[in-house]
Amino acid sequence: MGSLFRSEEVCLAQLFLQSASAYSCVSELGERGLLEFRDLNPKVSAFQRRFVGEVRRCEEMEKTFTFLQQELREAGRVLAPCPDNPRAPLAREALRVQEQSEQLAQELREVSRNRASLRGRLRDLRQYLHVLRESRRFTSLPAPLGSPPRSRALSEREPLLDPSLHQHLDRKINFVAGVIHPWRVSAFERLLWRACRGYLVASFVEMPEPMEDPTTGESITWVIFVISYWGEQIGQKIRKISDCFHCHVYPYPESEATREDTLSGLHSQIQDLSVVLEETEQYLAQVLDKVVLALPTWRVQVQKMKAIYLILNQCSFDVTEKCLIAEVWCPVKDLTQVQDALRQGSYKSGSSVECFVQRIPTSESPPTLIRTNKFTAGFQSIVDAYGVASYQEVNPAPYAIITFPFIFAIMFGDVGHGLLMFLFALWMVLYEDRPSLRQASNEIWLMFFEGRYLILLMGAFSIYTGFIYNECFSRATAIFPSAWSVAAMANHSSWSSAYLATHPVLTLDPNVTGVFRGPYPFGIDPIWSLAINHLNFLNSFKMKMSVVLGIVHMAFGVILGIFNHVHFRQWHRLVLEFLPEMIFLLALFGYLVFLIFFKWIKFSAANSLVAPSILIHFIDMFLFTSNADNLPLYEGQVPVQTVLVVLALASVPVLLLGTPLYLWCQQRSLRTSQPTLVASREQEPLLEGQEAGNSVNATKEDVESGGHSPDAKHLDLAELFMHQAIHTIEYCLGCVSNTASYLRLWALSLAHAQLSEVLWSMVMRSGFVGLRYVGGVVLVPVFAAFAVLTVAILLVMEGLSAFLHALRLHWVEFQNKFYVGSGYKLCPFTFTPDHWE
Amino acid sequence: VMTAHSFALPLVLFSAFWGLVGIAAPWFVPKGPNRGVIITMLVTTAVCCYLFWLIAILAQANPLFGPQLKNETIWYVRFLWE
């Protein structure tokens, strides 16, 4: 069947790599992704490994790349993923990449710095320009003797210029002009007034356009101030105060002419600076273009290089220091491919000596490799979630492809809900190649998407079980005419309309001829959905169905164990474990299944009053008693049951003691021929060394711990008895409890049916009350509510619940009959495209 | 409608159908890497679905009691269905 039936054969191999061609060989192997490398230097720290220098170089390059990427992000550029798949670079290429990337980073840093300083300078010039322009209003008029125009400092509390100061007016008026943050204006004013009261005139005006604040980067409307003062000390005070408030103070030219000159000078300076800034921006854009072009490829290349060196660090050097030895787990089928890859690698690196691979025997358990395609991967992952299959044991996944959706569908059976689920999964499957679906960042969506084939099958089987349960959004459909005839009953018992009016509830009796006309051919009869006692019938049906399906599922699990016993050549387990397990299960629970089917066939409405209870019979079977009220199902039932119980009880000690006793006898017969075995052991130390499964670097001491001989076997025997006892108890008790556990199939299907019934009768039906046009309009929001609740409660919540319980039934009740699940996966060395942001 | 439902006809039909799916169809699966998986799927589907249908029809073949109906339902079914 290919490797889905059981995991592939995996062997331990040694690669002998020439030092010169080791890098390209590992690069080839990584491109193909075949082998898992084992760490031969586990005790060596990361800093002491051989290729730590190269790894560090790669990390430095990655740091440069991170810097470049940050700059790109700040400039608003997007990095495209790498279009092709570049191979790991050789030493010369790597050097070139490193040089180029560092050069680009250096250039980028310089250009950014230049641009920042140019921008700052431009900002200063512009502010100066505004200051000069705005302050013209205050100072172009003659020096104020009376009221200064628009002076906010002189509010109502301060009178106009003190007449006593008139005499000082012939002194020189000086100016301080600058720019201040708008939030600090009032504090500035107040402080100025307190400190230099009366000896200054301060005017504030807002700048016409907002400008960037160098520290925070946000755009603020600065306030320009011009302070005219006289007196040297006042001037100093004013300057100190403006320093405190972080104002930008600009030299204010005294006369009109100088002002004009300064203005025109500023204009030309600003123009020149703008031109230079533009060119700088262009150059920056060019550099960024170069980065965008080259960065994706470099990242992939350096990542691959680093991965290869990390792998090379795991290899060991042989004594001559010319050859690297690597230990790998390799699937046997791929050995030729590995040899091919090594040949290619040696050729590419131009060395004449070929590297080769050699298989070595081991007693360690190899990793599990199960190759899946996009369809089987989902099912394999739900099996692996419980435990990865042990090496070469039977894989439950191929059966779970169908049994899991089927068991889900038993708990979810509804045509309408199944159809919705099927269509949703179909949409996901048909558009699975769209990158918007495949690479979404939402984890929950990804989970649904990964399981799209699973959901497809779950929906399909739910449609089938929905038809059998005869439920479509909780409504039954009469595909075939119902088997129960109300007319026949009414005619027989003369149910007139008057009679009906006085009797609210009446029962159809199948004993009356013509009332029951044969079983409904496909599924549950639609009459039951109209009946008040439908749960009586459905519960009996569903409980028996759950038990029957559960026992069949478990028996199948026990049978799968045969394949394991045969494959591992443990024939004794076939007779001493499989046989008693099967006898126990079938004698007790197979007989229960038989009783269920027998009662269905043999007993009908004619003898319904005396129909025996299977449950009571089953209990009496175990207790070896009998109940007079409970008629036997068939003649000779009691002796048959006694035989079956005795058979089942007899199989328990066989299961408990069979295998350990057999192994003990086998070991005893081995011990009589022990001396010769010991001698032959000592003569072959070399093979021993590798047989213990230790790596090439293991010492003699490690080898000796492998051979414990008879004492160890004795301890092992006690362990074996213990293990077998646990297994027996678990199996026998498990048979009973797991059969009961399958009743959850009944419980959940009942819950689902009741929930959808409630939703229909309480929500949707209230939309059908009004029969006029208004009723039609009311139906729209009612249907909306019904749809939302159906999806949220019945599809999502019930779906997840049924999924969980189906999973539990598989993981526990089915798999503990044969599955060990203590393996580990083969993780081949491969270059995976990492998370590109 | 006075047709009686036979038991034998559906039994034969469905046994034949699922027998076709589970026993005959596996012979016609084309050779390829997925042959084993597809055959397993066909057989498992046939067994599960057939068993489920069989349980449903056997549970109804000899009913021990009949449905209990409300008088409105009886009136409606009698005069509108039959």
pLDDT tens digit sequence for A52-61: 888 999 999 9
Given pLDDT bands bounded at 50, 70 and 90, which one contains residue A555? very high
A504 contacts B57? CB cut-off 8 A: no
pLDDT greater than 80 at residue A682: no
Better-scored residue on pLDDT, B2 or A499? A499
- For the stretch A648-657, pLDDT in tens is 999 999 999 9
Residues of B in contact with A520 (CB under 8 A): 5, 57, 60
**Tally of CB atoms within 10 A around A719:** 11
Give the domain A7-40+315-366 fold: VC0802-like (3.30.2130)
pLDDT in tens, A408-425: 999 999 999 999 999 999
Q: What is the pLDDT of residue A242?
A: 83
Pick among B1, B74, B76 to test the A interface (most A CBs inside 10 A): B74
Q: Are A306 and A39 in contact (CB under 8 A)?
A: no
Predicted confidence band of residue A806 (pLDDT cuts 50, 70, 90): very high
Is the residue at B33 inside a domain? yes
- Interface probe for A, chosen from B68, B76, B81 (most Cβ of A below 10 Å), is B68
Q: Which of A62-76, A171-185, A282-296, B49-63 has the lowest mean pLDDT?
A: A171-185
Lowest mean pLDDT among A427-441, A745-759, B56-70: A427-441
- The answer to whether A377 faces chain B, any CB pair under 8 Å, is no
Distance (Å) from the C-alpha of residue A541 to the closest C-alpha of chain B?
Answer: 6
CB within 8 Å: B10 and A410: no
Higher pLDDT: A141 or A453? It is A453
Cα dihedral value A611, A614, A620, A621, nearest 10: 120
Q: What is the pLDDT of residue A231?
A: 79
Can you state the angle between helices A591-602 and B35-61, rounded to 10 degrees?
Answer: 50
- Specify the pLDDT at position A347: 86
A764 or A163: whose pLDDT is higher?
Answer: A764
* Cβ burial A274-288 (10 Å sphere, 16+ → b, else e): eeebeebeeebeebb
Boundaries of domain holding B71 = 7-81
Distance from CA of B45 to the nearest CA of A (A): 6
The rounded percent of chain A whose pLDDT value lies above 70 is 90
Contacts of A164 (CB under 8 A, 6+ apart): none
Mean pLDDT of A745-764: 94
pLDDT at A108 over 70: yes
Chain A residue closest in CA terms to B38: A398
Binning chain B into helix, strand and coil, the percentages to the nearest 5 are 70, 5, 25
Contact B52 A509 (CB under 8 A): no
Average pLDDT over residues A321-335: 88
Chain B within 8 Å of A373 (Cβ-Cβ)?
A: yes
Q: For residue A787, what pLDDT is reported? A: 95
Residue A206, beta-bridge partner list: A223
Residue bearing tokens 């046009």: A773
Residue A790, both tokens: 């159906």
| Contact indicator for A798, A412 with CB cutoff of 8 Å | yes
Amino acid identity of A558?
Answer: V
Contacts of A745 in chain B (CB under 8 A): none
Residue A33 has pLDDT above 80, yes or no: yes
| DSSP class of B30 | P
Q: Which of B3, B40, B59 sits opposite A481 (nearest CB)?
A: B3
SS3 A294: helix
With CB atoms and an 8 Å threshold, state whether A507 touches B53: no
B38: left (phi over 0), alpha (psi -120 to 50) or beta: alpha
The model's confidence at residue A711, banded by pLDDT at 50, 70 and 90, is low
| Contact in structure between A226 and A203 (CB atoms under 8 Å) | yes
Cβ(B3)–Cβ(A481) under 8 Å? yes
Reported confidence tier of residue A525, pLDDT bands at 50, 70, 90:
very high
Confidence of residue A403 (pLDDT cuts 50, 70, 90): very high
A403–B57 C-beta distance less than 8 A: no
Of A139-153, A214-228, A690-704, A797-811, where does the model show the most confidence? A797-811
| Average pLDDT for chain A | 85
pLDDT the model gives residue B3? 60
**Best-predicted range by mean pLDDT among A43-47, A147-151, A311-315?**
A311-315
**CA A805/CA A407 separation, integer angstroms:** 9
Tell me which residue of A601, A642, A599 sits closest to A620, measured CA to CA: A642
DSSP 8-state assignment for residue A15 = E
pLDDT of residue A834: 55
Is pLDDT at A503 greater than 50 in this prediction? yes
Q: Quick check: A312 pLDDT over 80?
A: yes
SS3 call for A692: coil
Distance, in angstroms, between A333 CA and closest chain B CA? 15
What would the pLDDT profile of A358-382 be if each residue is shown by its tens digit? 889 988 999 999 999 999 999 999 9
Q: B50 is written with which tokens? A: 């057939």
The tokens for A465 are 């079980």
The answer to whether the Cβ–Cβ distance between B66 and A515 falls below 8 Å is yes
Instruction: List the structure tokens of A165.
Output: 């100061």
Residue appearing with tokens 């299907």: A749
Could you tell me the pLDDT band of residue B1, with boundaries at 50, 70 and 90? very low
Choose the closest CB to B7 out of A506, A519, A540. Answer: A519
Structure tokens at A472: 């479509």
Q: What is the pLDDT of residues A172-219, one digit of tens each?
A: 778 888 888 888 888 888 888 888 777 777 888 888 777 777 777 778
Distance CA A29, CA A344 (A): 10
Q: Of A220, A252, A223, A219, which Cα lies nearest the Cα of A235?
A: A252
Confidence label for A145 from pLDDT (cuts 50, 70 and 90): very low
pLDDT surpasses 90 at A94 = no
Q: Are A591 and A644 in contact (CB under 8 A)?
A: yes
* Side chain identity, residue B46: A
pLDDT tens, position by position, A599-627: 999 888 888 888 889 999 999 999 988 88
pLDDT of residue A147: 43
Q: What is the DSSP secondary-structure string of A309-366?
A: HHHHHHSEE-TTSSEEEEEEEEEGGGHHHHHHHHHHHHHHTT-SSPPEEEEE---SPP
Delimit the domains of chain A by residue range: 7-40+315-366, 375-483+518-669+718-817
Structurally, how many domains does chain B consist of? 1
Whether the pLDDT of residue A169 is over 70: the answer is no
Residue among A490, A509, A532 minimizing CB distance to B78? A490
Among A591, A579, A535, residue whose Cα is nearest residue A749: A535
Asked if B4's CB is within 8 angstroms of A517's CB, the reply is yes
Q: What is the pLDDT of residues A448-477, one digit of tens each?
A: 999 999 999 999 999 999 999 999 999 999
- CB within 8 Å: B62 and A605: yes
Facing residues of A223 across strands? A180, A206
Q: A595, A574, A597: which is closest to A654 by C-alpha? A: A574
Higher per-residue pLDDT: A352 or A336: A336
A15 in contact with B, Cβ within 8 Å = no
Residues 8-37, chain B, touching A (beta carbon < 8 A): 9-10, 33-37
Burial of A289 (C-beta count, 10 Å sphere; 0-12/13-18/19+): exposed
DSSP A328-342: EEEEGGGHHHHHHHH
In contact, A199 and A229? CB cutoff 8 Å: yes
- B68 contact residues in A (CB cutoff 8 A): 505-508, 531-533
Query: Would residue B2 count as lying in a domain?
Result: no
Query: Of A605, A12, A66, which is closest to residue A362 (Cα–Cα)?
Result: A12
Chain-centroid distance, C-alpha A183: 51
- Is the pLDDT confidence value at A681 over 90? no
Which residues fall within 8 angstroms of residue A45, CB to CB, at 6 or more apart? none
